[in-house]
Amino acid sequence: MKLPSRIIDLSSPLENETVYDPPFMRPKIVYRSNAETAPLLVDLFPGLRREDLPDGEAWAIEEIQLTTHNGTHMDAPIHFQSKSIHGKPMLTIDQVPLDWFFRPGVKLDFREVPDGHVVTGGEVEAELKRIGHELKPFDIVLVNTRASSCIGTDEYLTAGCGMGREATLYLTSRGVRVTGIDAWAGMRRLRIYASAGWRRTTRRSSGKAIKPVAKSRIAIWKSCAIWSSCRITASPWPAFPTR
């Protein structure tokens, strides 16, 4: 296997200021400086004095409160439903095969598509034809929407198009198992659903559903096939922040 010669970080950082989530879901991070934690370290080691530490400092640490869906993250099938159409338990994030996450990636450019639009299988096919890429099993498909231009604003939560059932089945029927999107979620924006009236647009999954890597900075990728990698293991959770 030929490894990529350049690594590009598409992940969004976890922080208090930038808007990536609704208020009730946003992370809360308390930063403890080296000076602040010195008394804690002194208490940990009997006989240690603060003056024994370089400049009287200890370890800089952070106290983090977050959900498994903060920032750039990977959703496992169980996030969406507990059982497949066959009644079997859906996979948790630690059960998803690691080799799914280091595969060739391709970016679909839907930045000019209106907010709230539901992307169809035909539109996916047309974009693949435009960039000259033929999907192969286990390709990682990254969806670039207008949302990436709104990161850090309240508009981010409603910006961008979404992948509909037809587009999703177009990908999974060709062996795609992992996708990414730069928007708050992979489907049509939730606020647009609410204003239009909720209706069921998907059916229960077979367990082979795609796993979105949401809130990624996909706009910096060109529309071409390249290697993509992502996953951090946590057991037995429905999702986990990733890079």
pLDDT score of 58: 96
pTM: 0.78
pLDDT score of 77: 86
CA distances from 196 to 96, 127, 135, 156 (A): 34, 27, 33, 19
Of the candidates 226, 69, 20, the residue with the CA atom closest to the CA atom of residue 141:
226
HSE (side-chain half, CA atoms, 13 Å) at 31: 4
CA 16 from chain centre, in angstroms, equals 18
CATH number for the 73-241 domain, one of 3.40.50.2300, 3.40.50.410, 3.40.640.10, 3.50.30.50? 3.50.30.50
CA distance 231 to 134: 25
CA 119 from chain centre, in angstroms, equals 19
pLDDT score of 114: 94
Question: What is the residue extent of each domain of the chain?
Answer: 28-65, 73-241
Tokens of 238: 């429905």
- DSSP string covering 103-125: EEEEEEE-TTSPTT-EE-HHHHH
CA distance 238 to 242: 13
CA distance 62 to 243: 18
57 forms beta bridges with none
Q: Which mean pLDDT values do the consecutive 10-residue runs of the chain (243 residues) have?
A: 71 85 89 95 95 96 88 84 89 87 90 94 97 94 92 88 91 92 70 41 47 52 48 53 62
Of the candidates 184, 87, 85, the residue with the CA atom closest to the CA atom of residue 143:
184
